[in-house]
Amino acid sequence: MIEFKIPEVGEGIESGTVISILVKVGDSIEKDQAVLELETDKAVVEIPADVNAIVEEILIKENQEAKIGQVVLKLKKSTATKTETKVEDKTVKTETKETETTKTVQPKSRVTKTEASASPSKDLIPAAPSVRRIARERGIDLHQLQGSGILGRISIHDLELKSSSQIASPQITLPDFSKWGQVKREPMSGIRKATVRAMATAWSNIPMVTHFDKADSGNFEAFRQRYKKLAERKEIKLTPTAILLKIVATALTKFPDFNASIDTNSQEVIYKDYINIGVAVDTPNGLLVPVIKNANQKSIFELAQELSELAEKARNRKLGLADMQGANFTISNLGGIGGYAFSPIVNPPEVAILGVSRSRMEPVYNKITASFDPKLMMPLALTYDHRLIDGAAAARFSLWLTQAIEEPLFMSLD
């Protein structure tokens, strides 16, 4: 009998939600055949079998949380080979009889033990006795913690993080909403769970400031319209976000602090020689952020093509973990939906994010003519980690962005 465990699926990934089980008891499966789909870190990953076998038992259900290293299937290894098929009938009958005898004389206690291990107790949480004692003293429920150690083992550090979050943001006790009318409860999707964890962690650990600005996007839009048809002939959709990707990638080469991360353990700043930019994509399943790798090395048309392909994969839930990892900076463009301003949240270990709202015609004062001229203004919101980036640095970064938007050729001139 073989115990099939959830394998490592990515750096830092410790658990996920089983959204689909692709096999049933009695199925013969082959090595590298997908046996289940795991939704983790906002991506859906197919988990393949690592051996030819027969499914004997399924130890998990769909929409259930599973940890890396957890046993989810029990398999019986397929031992039939070409040599065995040529064995004489007498030998085969003898082996079959021996197998039946073995099954008959198997101790009942062993079966009971196996069944018990298939349904582990909820109280069996990987944590040292000292950790359990401290958790009891602080009133922390270990079932509500996501351990950072191997196979989800809970450490003292995890308790400290939980304690600090409880002080900063105490748990809210919900009332009984059914007293006022009918209600319906639905379980969170894996994507929503990941968003809850990520946003709560970011908000409680990063001192964020948002710098607001506006750019005259008349030349920007004229530039896009001028080359829109050329892009269409190449079967490329030239969107404002694609051009912004090029502008931001160029800005990050000039302002390295915005392309860095903070290592609080070693008290160091990590500067990166590569420029990877995440782009927030709205999907029916929630917000996903695919990453454009080496954005500074690609043309606007290349960025537009890659962005279109990744956005389509995001909406069809086909993004892999590699498509969503490694970002140094993020762009969130809500201009296609609406609104005149918003304050985006920095996604650690990044230190900044750019929010873009819908451009609209506004009266702008002209000093030369002493009159107000109609201008197409693009609202920008730059949220940054104040531990690394000061207000003056954010203002300079934002000023450079506005100049590049107002005159797209500025990037080549500067």
Q: What does the pLDDT read at residue 90?
A: 44
> What does DSSP say about strands 329-333 and 286-288: parallel, antiparallel, or unpaired?
unpaired
Model pLDDT for residues 25-50, shown as the tens digit of each residue? 999 998 888 898 888 765 777 888 88
- Residue 273 CB neighbours (<10 A): 6
Query: How wide is the angle at C-alpha 327 spanned by C-alphas 324 and 333, nearest 5°?
Result: 85
Buried b / exposed e along 133-146 (16+ C-beta atoms within 10 A): ebbeeeebebeebe
CA–CA separation, 353 and 337 (whole Å): 19
- Quote the radius of gyration of the chain (alpha carbons, Å): 28
User: pLDDT category, 149, cuts 50, 70, 90?
Assistant: low
Question: What are the structural domains of the chain?
Answer: 2-107 (2.40.50.100), 124-167 (4.10.320.10), 201-413 (3.30.559.10)
Q: What does the pLDDT read at residue 41?
A: 61
Closest-CA residue to 4 (of 36, 26, 42): 36
| 18 or 304: which leads in pLDDT | 304
Calculate mean pLDDT across residues 275-292. Answer: 92
Q: What does the pLDDT read at residue 94?
A: 44
List active site positions. 386
Model pLDDT for residues 354-411, shown as the tens digit of each residue? 999 999 999 999 989 999 999 999 999 999 999 999 999 999 999 999 999 999 877 6
- Residue 353 CB neighbours (<10 A): 27
pLDDT of 91 strictly over 70? no
Whether residue 349 has a cis bond before it, omega within 30° of 0: yes
User: Between the ranges 54-63, 117-126, 217-226, where is the mean pLDDT highest?
Assistant: 217-226
> What is the phi/psi pair of residue 278, to 5°?
-85, 145
Which residues are within 8 A (CB) of 314 and not within 5 positions of it... i.e. 6 or more apart? 281, 283, 288, 290
> What does DSSP say about strands 329-333 and 53-58: parallel, antiparallel, or unpaired?
unpaired
Model pLDDT for residues 379-390, shown as the tens digit of each residue? 999 999 999 999
For residue 3 the two structure tokens come to 């115990």
pLDDT of 110 strictly over 80? no
| 176 or 90: which leads in pLDDT | 176
Q: What does the pLDDT read at residue 157?
A: 67
Q: Considering the chain, what percentage of its residues have pLDDT values greater than 70?
A: 81
pLDDT of 120 strictly over 90? no
Q: Are 320 and 45 in contact (CB under 8 A)?
A: yes
Closest-CA residue to 291 (of 258, 314, 260): 314
Q: What does the pLDDT read at residue 78?
A: 74
